[in-house]
Structure 1
Amino acid sequence: MSSPAAPGGVDRVRALGVETTGIEIIDETERTARPVDLFWPWFAANVSVFGISYAAFVLGFGISFWQAALVTVIGIVISFALCGVIAIAGKRGSAPTMILSRAPFGVTGQKIPGVISWLVSIGWETFLSIMAVLATATVFERLGWGGGTGVKIVAAIVVAAMIVLASVAGYHIIMRMQSYLTWITGIVTILFVVIAAKHVDWGKVSALPSGPWQAVVGALVMLMTGFGLGWINIAADWSRYQRRDANGSAIVFWNTFGGAVAPVLLVLFGLLLAGSDDAVRDGISGDPIGALAQVLPTWFLVPFLIAVILSLVSGAVLGIYSSGLTLLSLGVRIPRPAAALVDGVILTLGTIWVVFFAENFLGPFQSFLITLGVPLAAWAGIMIADIALRRRDYDEESLFSAAGVYRAFDWVSIGTMTVMSVLGWGLVVNNFAADASWNNWQGFLLEPLGLGTWNATDGYWEGNWPYANLGVLLALVGSFVITYVARRKTVADQEQARGGASYAGRSPLDGR
């Protein structure tokens, strides 16, 4: 199916240098990507020193280095592997993630998870932009160049311009850009590790006491949510250009390897650094990136800042590009570049508001985004189960018609997502209780189930279970199990009602 927005096809797209293809099915002539090509966008978006900062959050659960190292490897790898499974849908359907999600939710019903996905993408990419601006101000202040309003204004303009321009340009330019950013940010990050390694005190790190296994689970969930699950709603956006004969297992591997290899190594080093240096560990909560600069010599601050900005911009570009596609999937009838521009403007305004005007916004902002992580996990469980059940490519025409085999609404999926989200919210707590008291309704199942007690006087939960964030795992696993059982016949009927390439008798991970 050729793009109506791009008469002349792929030649015109490449001549302009701007991808005009939107949410429609990718033309067969444009499906030339190989599984290994997925390494570049995922690696570039995740090879960031911000991963080192995550180590302080992990140790904040009160666990030992070895406990933290174990959950780092397991949590990050598994979460990106789940993204890889979602990416298989992109190869099978040649469409963005939220269009393919119409198969389990219905063409109209998909708008429910679509709105959540759009808010999550916009929110997290705005957060990355904010981190880039704050890091710039911190480094400039350390260099003695001033880190006041003027610096922040220039930084906000430059960061926003880079994100918006790349997002508007689209897939082909982003893929080329990410391959270059991988080398630049990778080299500087390695230099950072070499320079900061002298601050590691193994004796102090190894002496960190072990924590209860509930705390280990909490750290695991945080890592899964902060890494792979934070990208899972856009995973198929980058695999829709894959060749039809691309092997599913290879897609999962390169998606997982590209996304996980840098974060695993960086968080592991971060555990050594944060476990050794109390000043770094304490400073990360206020300025996750800038706090790392205090261990660096002055001569390295500028390369460090450049790498930080590029890595954060790289991640934000992927998110804004995909949020634009999600906006189109919700029924907004504008060209894809315009959709990316709209979301880029929202990101810019959000960054300006938080950095310059909102004195107490960052905590509530993060609380809001974390809250959306529960229904996103429920959606992921449903989508992964749907992919596992299918043995044929998607019916492309039906993805755009409520009269097709996927119908307007799938009430089983909608009901599953709703119920599992509510139950999930009941088993997670608001980590920003003081700054976002309006969100303290979460965790309403903890006391009835005897898993914790709310200390209203001091504003925190008592017990080991509350901060384990079991609700995210419940939403993910519960939605998968329910969907896999309850929708088996529905998926079989859908595939029997239409033609397409069959995967009968083969693993969903296999190629055709």
Structure 2
Amino acid sequence: MAAASSAVEARSIEMIPPGERHGHPKSQFTLWFGANAQITAIVDGALAVVFGADAFWAIIGLLVGNVLGGIVMALHSAQGPRLGLPQMISSRAQFGVYGAVIPLVLVILMYVGFASTGTVLSGQAINLILGVNVPAVGILVFGAATALLAILGYKYIHALGRIATVLGLAGFLYLTFAVLTRYDIGQIMFLKGFEWPTFLTAIALGAGWQLTFGPYVADYSRYLPQDTSERRTFWYTFAGSVGGAQWAMTIGALAGGLSAAHLGGDFLKNQVGYMGDLAGGGLVAVFIYLVIVSGKLTVNCLNAYGAFMCSVTIGTAVNRRDTVSRTARIAFILLVIAASVLIALFASKDFLNLFKNFVLMLLMVFTPWSVINLVDYYKISRDRLDIPALYNPDGRYGRWNAAALVSYGIGVVVQIPFLAQALYTGPVTHWLGGADISWIVGIVVTMAVYYPWAKATNRAPLETIYPDEDAAPARVPAS
């Protein structure tokens, strides 16, 4: 059993044994609400308005996207208690021990990208709290806080999520009250008619936001007892993630609309300061900045922790180990945070446009991965894994799995003609009036290719094979 006396989490990519399982699925609500009720989600919501949607239809589109993406995200979370494994380790069952490295590289880039944007915004909030005008100060302070909590690990990240949820609820309630009572929201609603291209962009922004949690959401439910209901894990995760994100994005859409109407300041130039101004300035603004920092600290810890897990998963595919030392763990986390801090220090001023394209690009590359992982878990293997084989390239799952890798490649490539991004707009997108439906095409095609192929080449054992007898549950009831 891992040393319980140490403050630093001892476990990494191995299966969490029953004797170390603890907690209740309610913890998933507070963690994911705290991780979503934050400034970057506000920016994500504002993007839908900044880039063309009417505020009302932006809010509806974001809700549709959050619900659709949240379903997928929560289905990943429900795998954690049953398997006790990090999400990307379990994906070796679909892609092969070496093949899983391909999406892992993209996942790490995602973590660093989100951590960098979060560091930029939180650095601004810290500077406003401290009253300094040197961007590097806030960025470095925030980077140090992220490093400390990510190194401490699972238990402390969940504790931070609870704190961020309480602060987020208070801060968002006040912001909502301030916006609704100080401004005439009717002035920014229904200024434009319904437009499919901008509505679909809003859906994509909401769905893309949720889907980016997929590669690591099970990492934070894997310590729950093995007999934890999948349904309860799903619903607590879904409610926290979708509730927190939609609330933040709704505030963002309203802020974007108010800014476009020249009410309350200029959101495009100063996202963090604008939220303080909406709150009324003074000490209330300082409180809003603390809310921003706590929410971003939660999700940045998730990003740093997840990047560590993915980096180790890549390394152990070669050395066949199923554990890593605390020293290696700390080194990986510090490396990821250092990269995000450096990027934040040299971040482009074109923040909003770059962030929009970053989220939509992530949607393109992670949608096929989610389809493959969920189809295999719920329809092919039905949660039956050979866990020792996940760490052995010569085992049941092999080095490469053609069914998953080819399906993934097709799922990504088939989206290209449907893209609507700054770097490239596909020919089909022009015919659709600028609407980006690439991710929907990716879901349909990936499922159509992968499901029959995986069913015909099913590698799942008849029953789950555990690392040792102590790891096997006596009975796992149906959810």
The interval holding the TM-score normalised by the smaller chain is 0.7 to 0.9
Matching residue within 276, 301, 317 for 1:317: 301
SS in 1 for 2:384: coil
> 2:94 aligned with 1:98, yes or no?
no
Q: Give the aligned residue type for 2:442.
A: A
Cα contact 1:129–1:351 (8 A) shared by 2: yes
Cα distance in 2 between the residues matched to 1:193 and 1:187: 10
Cα contact 1:201–1:276 (8 A) shared by 2: no
Cα distance in 1 between the residues matched to 2:68 and 2:86: 22
Cα distance in 1 between the residues matched to 2:215 and 2:444: 16
Change (3 A) 1:36 1:489: farther
Change (3 A) 1:380 1:29: same
% identical aligned pairs: 19
CA-to-aligned-CA distance 1:9-50 (integer Å, 9 cap, x gap): 24x2x3111111110111111122322221121111112244
CA-to-aligned-CA distance 1:166-211 (integer Å, 9 cap, x gap): 1001111211222122212321222222233333313313332223
Cα distance in 1 between the residues matched to 2:433 and 2:477: 39
Q: 1:76 is matched with which residue?
A: 66
Displacement, 1:355? 2.8
CA-to-aligned-CA distance 1:451-479 (integer Å, 9 cap, x gap): 41xxxxxxxxxx7543x322222223322
Q: 1:430 is matched with which residue?
A: 421
Matching residue within 296, 304, 314 for 1:330: 314
Q: 1:179 is matched with which residue?
A: 162
Q: 1:133 is matched with which residue?
A: 123
Q: Number of residue pairs matched?
A: 461
SS in 2 for 1:260: helix
Displacement, 1:106? 0.8
Matching residue within 240, 247, 253 for 2:235: 253
Change (3 A) 1:36 1:154: same
Q: 1:117 is matched with which residue?
A: 107
Cα distance in 2 between the residues matched to 1:472 and 1:184: 34
Displacement, 1:287? 3.3
Cα contact 1:375–1:475 (8 A) shared by 2: no
Displacement, 1:341? 4.2
Unaligned runs of 5+ in 1: 1-8, 432-439, 453-462, 501-508
CA-to-aligned-CA distance 1:35-92 (integer Å, 9 cap, x gap): 2221121111112244333332122353334422322222112212211111222223
Displacement, 1:146? 4.3
Q: What is the TM-score of this pair, normalised by structure 2?
A: 0.88
**Superposition RMSD in Å:** 2.8
> 2:450 aligned with 1:483, yes or no?
yes
Q: 1:199 is matched with which residue?
A: 182
Change (3 A) 1:464 1:210: farther
CA-to-aligned-CA distance 1:315-368 (integer Å, 9 cap, x gap): 101111111001100016753563354344433344344435766788667645
CA-to-aligned-CA distance 1:231-279 (integer Å, 9 cap, x gap): 1111111111121111111111011001111222232344344334434
Matching residue within 28, 35, 41 for 1:45: 35
In terms of mean alpha carbon deviation, does 62-71 or 104-113 score higher? 62-71
Where do 4+ consecutive residues of structure 1 move more than 4 Å?
Answer: 356-370, 497-500
Residues 457-476 of structure 1 aligned to structure 2 (within 5 Å):
465-466=433-434, 468-476=435-443
Cα contact 2:49–2:58 (8 A) shared by 1: yes
Cα distance in 1 between the residues matched to 2:341 and 2:418: 31
Matching residue within 440, 461, 469 for 1:495: 461
SS in 1 for 2:156: helix
Q: Give the aligned residue type for 1:123.
A: G
Q: Give the aligned residue type for 1:378.
A: P
Residues 26-37 of structure 1 aligned to structure 2 (within 5 Å):
26-37=16-27
Cα distance in 2 between the residues matched to 1:477 and 1:414: 16
SS in 2 for 1:231: coil
Q: Give the aligned residue type for 1:316.
A: N
Cα distance in 2 between the residues matched to 1:17 and 1:309: 23
Cα contact 2:30–2:165 (8 A) shared by 1: yes
Displacement, 1:96? 0.5
Q: 2:205 is matched with which residue?
A: 222
Cα contact 1:321–1:340 (8 A) shared by 2: no
Cα contact 2:387–2:464 (8 A) shared by 1: no
Q: What is the TM-score of this pair, normalised by structure 1?
A: 0.82
